[in-house]
Amino acid sequence: MQVTNQSTAKQRIAAVIVSYNRKDLLERVLAGVYSQTRSVDEVIVVDNGSTDGSRDMLAQRYPDALVIRSRNNAGGAGGFAKGISYAAHSYDYAWLMDDDAIPEETCLELLLQPFDRYGYQHVAFSCPQVTDASGNTGPRNYPVPTIDFPEIYRMASDSWLPVSAATFVGPLINLKLAKLTHAPLEDFFIWHDDFEYTTRLARRGAGVSVPAAHIMHLAANPGPDHYNASRNREHVRNLVWWWRELGKDDAAAQRRLGLRILLSMRHQFLLAPQKLQYFRVVLSALREGIFTAPRHRGFEEIRQESSSTDVFLRGLQQLNHA
């Protein structure tokens, strides 16, 4: 990838935050977004049907934010698909984050630097270093490094790292390249939708990890690699769906993911207190993952559907649509 040193100063950025019943954390996230050294041009909050007073807080504290109140809880996958679809209509970038991810004030400014250096048309996304409340990196939300050593050496000179996938905790998405593929797979609901989507994007441009850009993730759950009885179905089914999606473009990546699926199921089986129940859930998830498929929908289709079913607000004012 060649150095071009293009400027992103005039490009427009929409922050997209998906939220469900985390009013206090959401308020902290928004405070972080609005305090950036490089301001965003729009803040889109996709509210998946919160009942904890989030709507009143948004109206009172952040009346300029566009709030999309979903008809139902579509999970993180559906929420991000919807938010990105609206951002793609008018903006150059979508800056994605959960309602428990608080960016440092220079995060966005630093995430833009790879686009400046390599050119907007060549970078699919950049992503920050994700830390916990103590400032430690991980154990979740690591991006997936590439094994392209010439690219590794080239980006290392700028203290960056080439990556092939990232989570939805703070990535900056190039919406021009995002329009070359379909939206995040809404039917995943939760888990693995982010890696599936950014893997697709990385086939259309570079993925760049920016370690100097920091975002703090105050996650309440340990994630899909730990045993979670209520989410085993989505975990296994989504991995199988992702495995099938990879087979259309990248057989080597599909083999690696297949091994990961087997190791993950073995690990969770060992942790499961009720082995028979876990076995039944896995069989059901495998059946669903093999014999059904997630919908592939474009941004415009999602936006049109949302405009007829969801409620749009700025402060106390209800809009006809965004």
Give the pLDDT mean for 129-157. 90
Provide the pairing of β-strand 66-69 with 311-314.
antiparallel
Degrees, nearest 5: CA angle 141-148-192: 30
152 band by pLDDT with thresholds 50, 70 and 90? very high
CA-nearest of 48, 49, 111 to 82 is: 48
First-residue to last-residue Cα distance in the chain: 37
Q: Determine, yes or no, domain membership for 19.
A: yes
Task: State the pLDDT at residue 183.
Answer: 99
β-pairing, 161-165 vs 144-145, is antiparallel
On whether residue 5 sits in a domain, the answer given is no
**Residue 223: Cβ-neighbour burial (10 angstroms; 0-12, 13-18, 19+):** middle
Residue 164 has pLDDT above 60, yes or no: yes
The region of weakest confidence among 43-57, 97-111, 121-135, 264-278 is 264-278
Report the C-alpha gap between 254 and 10 in whole angstroms. 39
Pick from 124-133, 134-143, 198-207, 218-227: least confident = 218-227
Residue 82 lies in a domain: yes
pLDDT at 138 over 80: no
The answer to the question of residue 4 being in a domain is no
- Please give the average per-residue pLDDT across 27-33, as a whole number: 99
pTM across the whole model? 0.94
Residue 166 domain flag? yes
**8 belongs to a structural domain:** no
* Whole-number average pLDDT of the chain: 93
CATH classification at residue 178: 3.90.550.10
pLDDT in tens, 287-310: 999 999 999 999 999 999 999 999
Domain coverage including residue 96 = 13-221+295-319
Residues pairing with 130 in the sheet: 215
Q: What does the radius of gyration of the chain's CA atoms come to, in whole angstroms?
A: 19
162 pLDDT above the threshold of 60: yes
In a domain, 119, yes or no: yes
Q: Which two tokens stand for residue 7?
A: 């400027």
- For the chain, what is the domain count? 1
Q: Is residue 98 a part of any domain in this protein? A: yes
Collapsing DSSP to helix, strand or coil, 312 comes out as strand
Predicted pLDDT at 9: 79
Indicate whether 221 pLDDT > 70.
Answer: no
